[in-house]
Amino acid sequence: MSVPSYLSNYADLYNQNPHAAALQWFSDARYGLFMHYGVYSLLGRGEWVMLREAIPVEEYSRLKDDFTASAFDANFITDLALSAGMRYITITARHHDSFCLFRTEQTDFNSVDSPCGRDLIGELAAACRRKGLGLFLYYSYALDWRHPYFYSRDAGWDSARPAYDTPEPSYRFQKDADFRHYIDFVHAQLRELLTQYGPLAGLWFDPIMGYYYRPDLFPVEETYALVRSLQPQCLIAFKQGANGDEDFASPERLARSLAHRLTDPDKQAVAQRAWDSNKHKHNEVCATLQPRQWGYNASDSGSHYTVEEVLAMLADAAARNSNLLLNTGPLPDGSIDEEDAAVLYEVGLRLRQEGFPEPRLMEE
């Protein structure tokens, strides 16, 4: 059995149980690089810009015509992660706007069919494989502002669709049975991701609130079974958790259930049960180098977090029995923000000189 390069130090366990080897590797990993990159990066106003500014689907789609990713450099990114002391990279293969950074037959709204003309996930997967880094692919499972058959705002979740003044002509969801068109699209893309890029460290699903508002529409057991049948070592995360069968949770900044954000008791129960099932695992806390948004936000320039603040985040994550997944939002051309790169290099130097900081909770 061929052992994935990122699991080379766990070969004996991998040959017995690939999934167990991956879990052990993850619990030892401590630190990973998160990257939010897509056509939203061109606007420099964060990854939720399509929803927050209610940009019509057709208008937003034209961003693809300007997407070149001319400075996206998988070798630089992987070298930066290694220099920073990181063991893995998580990147947005598809965010809520549905733009894909990978080769897919399910939509032409992707990097290969843009002026970029490149499979960015393929390039990053190859670089990670060469250098022994794990690769997690972020996939927007429970939200899509572009797909015709994602559920409507009528479900009570304002983020399900932008608040357009007039009906969006491409939206076709009318009844619950229509949602299966979306699930079939998702499963076809997951099959592509799991068969085109070699062994993956994991799939990182988002956003969990999209699931909590309509858990009846998402066949998570079927989805998880698909992942594990194709790649047994591939770990699964879905934020705080959907059904509790996730391999780890990855809350944003604070490790807690999201039941408090829901008003319906049944939905609160779903959220709390999932978190209760996951909270005692070795988990992950995700955080940003920008003070607020995950995708590139030009207005945050000059106010990113410092080396000392990142070290405090690492100490806090360790105190929560978690890894730290630290996000950078690449610039429109795909290059890494120099402000972030400088901090990451310096953090890596400190880790090599002093080791990882002792676990210590930050004030909440």
> How far is CA 205 from each of CA 62, 140, 174, 309, rounded to the nearest angstrom?
26, 6, 25, 27
Q: Does residue 9 fall inside a structural domain? A: yes
- Is pLDDT at 64 greater than 90 in this prediction? yes
pLDDT at 363: 72
Number of domains observed in the structure of the chain: 1
Q: Does residue 361 fall inside a structural domain? A: no
Q: Does residue 363 fall inside a structural domain? A: no
Across 147-153, average pLDDT = 98
Q: Does residue 360 fall inside a structural domain? A: no
pLDDT at 255: 87
Please report the DSSP string for 314-339 in residue order. Answer: HHHHHHTTEEEEEEE---TTSPPPHH
CATH number at residue 265: 3.20.20.80
The two structure tokens encoding residue 180 = 């299966």
- Is pLDDT at 77 greater than 90 in this prediction? yes
* Interval 88-106: pLDDT, tens: 999 999 999 999 999 999 9
Segments forming the whole domain that contains residue 195: 5-354
pLDDT at 253: 87
Across 61-86, average pLDDT = 98
The two structure tokens encoding residue 290 = 């920008």
Q: Which residues contact 41 (CB under 8 A, 6 or more apart)?
A: 295, 296, 329, 330, 331, 332, 334
Q: Does residue 362 fall inside a structural domain? A: no
pLDDT at 289: 97
* Cβ atoms 110, 100 nearer than 8 A: yes
Q: Does residue 364 fall inside a structural domain? A: no
Across 199-214, average pLDDT = 98
Nearest to 141 by CA among 176, 193, 103, 89: 193
Res. 364 pLDDT band, cuts 50 70 90: low
Q: How far apart are CA 326 and CA 90, in angstroms?
A: 9
Query: How far is Cα of residue 129 from the mean position of the Cα atoms in its chain?
Result: 19
Q: Does residue 206 fall inside a structural domain? A: yes
Q: How far apart are CA 96 and CA 147, in angstroms?
A: 10
Q: Ramachandran region of residue 110, left (φ > 0), alpha (ψ -120 to 50) or beta?
A: beta
- Report CA Rg, the chain: 19
pLDDT at 205: 98
* Interval 320-337: pLDDT, tens: 999 999 999 999 999 999
Across 10-25, average pLDDT = 98
Any idea how long the chain is? 364
Q: Does residue 11 fall inside a structural domain? A: yes
* Interval 251-302: pLDDT, tens: 998 889 999 999 999 999 999 999 999 999 999 999 999 998 999 999 999 9
